[in-house]
Structure formats: C-alpha cells, structure tokens
Amino acid sequence: MSVPSATDAAPRDGAAREAVPERDADRDLTASLLRWVLPRSLFGRAVMIIVTPLLLLQVVATWVFYDSHWETVTRRLAAGVAGDIASVVELMQLARDPSAYEKIFAIAREKMQLEIELRPDELLPNDAVVVRETLVDRKLANALTDIVQRPFRIDSRSLEKQIEVHLQLPQGVLRVIAPRRRLFSSTTYVFILWMVGTSLALFAVAALFMRSQVRPIRRLAAAADAFGKGHNVPDFKLEGADEVRQAGAAFNQMRERIQRQITQRTEMLAGVSHDLRTPLTRMKLELAMLPNTSELAELKADVAEMEKMVEGYLAFARGEGTEQPEPADLGRLLRDVVTNAAREGAIIELKAEGPMPVNIRPDAMRRCLTNLIANARRHARRIAIEADYNGSAIEVLVDDDGPGIPPAMREEVFKPFFRLDSSRNPATGGIGLGLTIARDVMRGHGGELTLAQSPLGGLRAVMRLPV
C-alpha cells in the first residue's frame, strides 16, 4: 500500500516544486499592490489602522440601523398617512351628499395636515404609474395598496416639501397633498450626521496623537542621516513610546561607540607615526655619517620611503582629528584647488556652475581633491573636472587621459600602500595612501568615491556627496 503511494508522490512533488515560483510571483504581486495602496508614511498607516475599523463599524451600524429602524419607521408613517386618506375616502362614501365634502376636507386639513381636493369626472390615466423611487415612495405605495385599495398615483417630485397622491374614486380624482415631514423620519439624518461628526472628531484626535508619536521617529531618522554624513549631532533627546525611546537610546550609544573608536584609531595612528619619526631621524643622521657606498644608498632610499610613509600616516590621522564640518561652497573650493594646481603647471579644466552649498570639513575635502588631482597629474597630461549639483547630492568627476586602471584593480588601489607599479618608482606613484585617504574623506562625509573608465581615455574618479 505504501509503495504505490511513494511512487505517486514523486510526480506530485515535482508539480509542487514547479508551482512554488508561481506562488512567489503571486505573493510579490500582492505585496507590491498592497504597498501601492497603503499609505507610505508611518503616520498615514497608523491613522489608517485606526480609521478603517472605525469606518467599517459605522458602515455596518448604519446599515443595520437603516435596514431595521428606518424601514420600520417609514412603513408606519406611510401606514398613518394611508390610514388618514382611507378615512377621508370612507367619510366621503358615508356622506353621500357632495356638499359635505368640503367639511370633511376642512377637517383633514386641520387635523391631518392633508390638503385635499376633488376633481370631479376626471380619470387617472390608464397607465397610472406609481413612482417607486425612494423608500418613502415604496412604503407609501404599499400602504395605499393595502389600506385604501383604490387605483392611485404618487408624485413625490413636483413639489418640494410635499408629496402628491392621486386617487381614483367613483366621483372623480381625489388629489391629496401631504407634507413630506409626515412621511420622513429625520432622525436618520441626525443619526448619520452624528456618525460622520464623531468619526471626524475621532479622526482628528487620532491624527493629532499619531503625529506626536511619529515626530520622534522622524527626528531619529534625521539624526541618523546627519551622523552618517559625518555631521556633528547632539544627543538624541528621548521621547515618545517605549520602543522609540529604546531606538533613540541605542542610537546614542552607537554614536558614542563609533566616535570613541574613531578617536582611538586616530590617536593610535598619530601616536605610532609620531613615535616612529624619532628613531627614523636618528637613523638618517647615522647614515649620513657613514662613508658612501652603493649599499648605503639603498638603505638611505629605504629610510626615506619609511619616512614618507610615516608622514602619510600622520597626514591621514590629522585629517580625521578635530576638524568640524561647516557650511561651505564646494564650487568655490573646487575653483581654489584647481587654480592652485594650474599654478603648479597642471593642464586642468573645470566645469562647475552655480553655488553648491554643503556641510563639509574643508581641509579634508581639499586633501581628497588634491590627492585625486595629484594622481591624475602623475599619470596623465590632461585633466577635466566636472561638478554637478542635483538637489540631493553633488557629483564631482575627475577625468584624465592617462593609462587608467584595469577594472579588476579599481578596488585594490584603495587599499593602504597598494600601488599598481610595485617597483616603488617615485615617477609612477607615491606611497600608496592617496586614494585610501580620499575615499576615507568621502565616506566620512557620508559619500563615496569610486573609479571608472573616463571618456578621455584614462581614469575617472567619481565623488558622490549627499547634501
């Protein structure tokens, strides 16, 4: 028994496996549909969560009320009016003498609020249609059929505040005008008005309450964003719901830890570099005293390189140190750096239009730019810089017409002391910290530095800086 079921299961399994991606696609579709329908903001969603059940409840309540209460009330009111009309008709039958009709009509006017008039010898048109449009019309028609039992016609349109009923009697057509309020229960509208009114009031209260709940989350997001861009952010003031306070406290702790780590790293780097400088200087002095040989020349070159590396580290460490971000115009900084480079003989062309206001550490940013320009000058002849400000970010492209860097190496060159030409030939490179520092500066501003192929033929460095 188990054997055939096992063989049966195999194809079914396969079918199930095939069906899975379809179901996934379905789920993706529903998810994206939901995302499209749902409000995007937390505020909108929270208000919706409060308001949707409320509205549903009210609709259901109104529905039930409308169905049972309003219908019953309207039926009874219609029966009342129909009863009055029937009484008038009966009285007319009893009176026999048409001269008494006026008296009956007068009583009806006074006691029943019915305006009645007899049009003798008239006939209701044969196709006398009952206007069955509204609930009131329908109920009145039913009541007239049941109680009065005469051919009739209802006109609830012609008069604004009254309803007209035409009855076929043997004597002619009886025209009855009843005030609408005898047939209408205005409490329904009062009820709906109350529903809508309380809903609006509740919505307003919910919106106010939610707004104050969402505000700290927005503030936290802004603080995290600013911190990510390397700005100085004050301690996040804890407020709002417990969860938001928790997130805020976690953010404050994280910020402190990151800041402590950065300080530690910087201090250590600066300390080590500084301490290495003294023995290096001593070595240089000692080497200078020795007689000149070829081995000594190599040793001197090594010491010189070590010194340069230490200087590089120190420059790196200093950059991270104490400089604070301040509002600046990146366009002006660019023009400044480019002018300096041109003065030193660089062939460099700059395209940067309009002011580019941004919060930066000016010295660090200047170092980043000069490092990129120094690289381009070392490897290429022509340099072109273009800066673009699109409202949310600034993009600076540094292009050159040199040999470029093969795609596979474009990440490698960011590693400290990494050089494409490993011969340590000073003509093809320095100590290998330039790009490391430049990227570090960009990331410290919440931005990014990447390398690409330049349309000029060489390397393109892309600096992206969020504003």
Ligand X SMILES: Nc1ncnc2c1ncn2[C@@H]1O[C@H](COP(=O)(O)OP(=O)(O)OP(=O)(O)O)[C@@H](O)[C@H]1O
* Residue 216 binds to Mg ion (criterion: CB under 5 A): no
3-state secondary structure of 429: coil
- Smallest separation, CB 371 to Mg ion (Å): 5
Structure tokens belonging to residue 427: 């003509």
Least distance to ligand X, CB of residue 310, Å: 12
Q: How far is the CB of 215 from Mg ion (least distance, A)?
A: 46
Encode burial over 148-171: b for 16+ CB neighbours within 10 A, e otherwise. Answer: bebbbbbbbeeeeebbbbbbbbee
The reply on whether position 434 binds Mg ion by CB under 5 A is yes
Grouping H, G, I as helix, E, B as strand and the rest as coil, residue 447 is: coil
Kindly write down the DSSP assignment for every residue of 371-394, as one continuous string. Answer: HHHHHHHHH-SEEEEEEEE-SSEE
Select the binding partner of residue 459 from Mg ion, ligand X, none (C-beta < 5 to 8 A, by kind).
ligand X
Other Cβ atoms closer than 10 A to 309:
19
> Is 322 or 425 the residue whose CB approaches ligand X more closely?
425
Q: Are 148 and 167 in contact (CB under 8 A)?
A: yes
Cα–Cα distance measured from residue 413 to residue 406, given in angstroms and rounded to the nearest whole number: 10
Contact positions with Mg ion (CB under 5 A) in 271-290? none
User: What radius of gyration, in Å, describes the C-alpha atoms of the chain?
Assistant: 45
Q: Let me know: does 454 contact 400? Beta carbons within 8 Å.
A: yes
Spatial separation of the C-alpha atoms in residues 182 and 140, rounded to whole Å: 11
Q: 331 contacts which partner out of Mg ion, ligand X, none, CB within 5 to 8 A by kind?
A: none
Taking the complex as a whole, the smallest distance from the CB of residue 420 to ligand X amounts, in Å, to: 3
Q: Residue 430 CB, nearest distance to Mg ion (Å)? A: 5
State the residues that interact with ligand X by CB under 6 A: 312, 371, 375-376, 379, 400, 402-405, 413, 418-421, 429-436, 458-459
Nearest-CB residue for ligand X:
430
Please identify, among the stretches 41-49, 62-70, 98-106, 430-438, the one whose residues bind Mg ion according to the rule CB under 5 A. 430-438
413 binds, among ligand X, Mg ion, none (CB under 5 to 8 A by kind): ligand X
Q: Which does 248 bind (CB under 5 to 8 A by kind): ligand X, Mg ion, none?
A: none
| Residue 402 touching Mg ion (CB under 5 A) | no
Residue 114 contacts which entry, ligand X, Mg ion, none (Cβ below 5-8 A, type-dependent): none
Contact between residue 143 and residue 167 where contact means Cβ atoms under 8 Å apart: no
Q: Which is nearer to ligand X, 284 or 424 (CB)?
A: 424
**Shortest Cβ 421–Mg ion spacing (Å):** 12
| Between 216 and 434, CB nearer to ligand X | 434
Amino acid type, 58: Q
Q: Does 454 bind Mg ion (CB under 5 A)?
A: no
Considering only residues 337-376, where is the footprint of Mg ion by CB under 5 A?
375
* Residue 79 phi, psi (nearest 5): -60, -35
- Distance in angstroms (rounded) separating the CA atoms of residues 72 and 64: 12
**Nearest residue (CB) to ligand X, 400 versus 440:** 400
- The residues facing 116 across adjacent strands are 176
Residue with Cβ nearer Mg ion (273 or 375): 375
What element of type H or E holds 453? Answer: strand 448-453
What are the residues binding Mg ion (CB under 5 A)? 375, 434
